[in-house]
A and B are shown apart, each in its own frame.
Chain A
Amino acid sequence: MEASTSTAAIPRRPAAFGWARLPALVRYPIVGAVLVAAWHFYAVRKGPLVMATPWQTLEAFWEGWRNGSLSDPTWATLRLLVEGVGIGAGVALILTAFATLSKFGEDVLLFLTAVLNPLPGVAVLPIAMLLFGLNETALRFVIANATIWPIAIALNTGFTTTNPTLVAVGRNIGLTRVRVISDVLAPAALPHAISGLKTAWAFGWRTIIAAELVFGVAGSSGGLGNYINNARQYLLTPQVFAALLTIAIIGVLFETLFGQLERRTIIRWGMKSS
């Protein structure tokens, strides 16, 4: 019976007693505790200037969220991320619609994607700072660049792999080409759009943190990357770890959010198997 509930790639022999027989509710906390204990002992060995212990990290995390020193930069970074992804999604939508409507648009999209997609966001940052100055617009530009291409590629794939029968039906009942895009292609491309959005969010999140680390703005308008930078300069290692913990938690939260979104839309509508 263990073999049937096991998720191993190679079937394991069912154990009579041992680790695999324990329920998940017992296994996971124990694994977590062992890893946290290993972290603690390693941090104590390395010293407080190099690594923070789990308890110090939690203390700094709690302090930072309580008095706003960590929460404010987090909201600032998230706000920038949402704005950047919004711009990216909008531009991607326009580019993909253009690509669907004309061959020239498709060539332009192909060319831009091939050239700009491989560029890491942080590599574009110096150019952005020269163009827009040392302000948030440069950061928005960098995030937009990181997010446009994954979304555009995903949307394009979604549009081109739509069931041709559906498209034919749409044309048959007299929809204009623009309405074909909005009423037939876009709903059909929803799974691709969501997966593109997930990728774009992941790229954008990493890019914004890295860009802020490079950017180095201090003061009230700084984001999470700047918080880490500042903590580094003042040798406040627990705060660095608290920021990393925040980033990890936000990552998990967004994964859950996207999972919920998928469950309510494309899984419920049968467009993706759960």
Chain B
Amino acid sequence: MKTRLVLAVLAAFMVAAFTSAAPASRSQAGPPSKLTIAYQPGLGYAPLILMKQLRTIEKRYPGTTVEWKVLASGTPITQGIITGDIQIGAVGTGPMLVGWARGVQWKIIAPLNLGDLWLMAKNANIRTIADLRGKRIATPTNTSIQAVMLRKMAQVKLGDYRALDPGLVALDHPDGMQALLTDQIDAHFTSPPFQFQERARGAHIVGKSYAYFGAHSFLVTVMQQKFYDDHTAFARFFYNQVVAMHNQIKNNPTRVARILSADAGGQPTWRQFKQWLTAKDPTTKRPALTWTTRPLGLMRTAAFMNKTAQLSKAPSSWRDLVFPPVYPTRGS
């Protein structure tokens, strides 16, 4: 009698567990009622920080609660999107492509920028890629765009894209910068503003990603297909907002720098941010970050990652990777 009761409760529990749907606040049309946007530390996320500080989403859609999260790397953001905790994530093109190839149903809603990523070293004896053989090199994660660029450099200069793999260490940008400056690692493949900060503290540039890949996209914002289908108008609004923020950065760098500095708690100063926003490559004088929603180099990156077995499949066209608002930019 008692056993039967226990079994019945257990069966009911299992039925409940298997049929409970994942919580979803979906409205068929219109904006989401709750939105979580995740990004990482770095200057490249400036358009999102601007949106956060200027509260542009809340002003346009008062019924939407927006939560902003800063996470250490693309991996937790990817996992958050898979489990539904995060709706819009800002990641590098590397993790975006890996997720896309793995079957995460996501695409790019708004590319954030093109970025020249620098491989920094502090030791004066490390001047070329060949010097890096057997040395410890830090990248944000093994799938990051920096790791992809490093393999490209190894392919071009050393003939084997795996030549530098044994020395790869995964460290997020702030930890990597500290490790480089305290000589715990030999090289750090990073991004603005960390590469500028390292250069200011005595590190030198060993390689630049633009030199090996041409101008290419650095950061993108992604959302799942399901979210786009449910909130198409909102997604288009989000894209237009990113464009608007880009214009702000281009036309009003002082105001933008003040906002970024306020968001960072005053340290670094707004003058420092303004300098970084407009920073240029020391030799070619090209800007290190180009603020545009036009994606460049996606197909090239995907093809290379496919060749190095980081991607199980390559996209047939750049349009496979982006949502309709991005089509008119004629990216690649």
Contacts and interface: CB of A to CB of B under 8 A. Distances in A.
Interface string A67-84: 000000000000000000
A233 B18 contact: no
Contacts of A269: none
Contacts, number: 64
B165 A233 contact: no
A234 B143 contact: yes
Interface in B67-120: 75, 78-79, 82-83, 95, 98-99, 102-104
Nearest to B162: A219
A165 interface: no
B95 to A, nearest CB: 8
Interface stretch (A43-51, A85-93, A195-203, A252-260): A43-51
A66 to B, nearest CB: 18
A50 B18 contact: no
B184 A235 contact: no
Contacts of A18: 3
Main secondary structure of the interface of A (DSSP, over half): loop
22 contacts: A38-B14, A41-B18, A42-B18, A45-B18, A48-B103, A49-B103, A133-B184, A134-B169, A215-B169, A216-B170, A216-B171, A218-B165, A218-B170, A219-B166, A219-B168, A220-B165, A232-B75, A233-B98, A233-B141, A233-B143, A235-B99, A235-B102
B254 interface: no
Report the interface size class on chain A.
20 to 34
B179 interface: yes
B82 A49 contact: yes
B225 interface: no
B182 interface: yes
B75 A233 contact: yes
B287 interface: no
B185 A218 contact: no
B167 interface: yes
Interface of A: 18, 38, 41-42, 45, 47-50, 129-130, 133-134, 215-221, 229-230, 232-236
A110 B117 CA distance: 52
Contact of A234 (B14, B166, B310): B310
A48 B104 CA distance: 10
Nearest to B22: A46
A233 B320 CA distance: 22
Q: Which 10 A-B pairs have the closest CB atoms?
A: A219-B166, A216-B170, A218-B168, A235-B102, A220-B166, A233-B143, A219-B165, A233-B141, A134-B184, A49-B82
Question: Which of B82, B95, B185 has the most A CB atoms < 10 Å from its CB?
Answer: B82
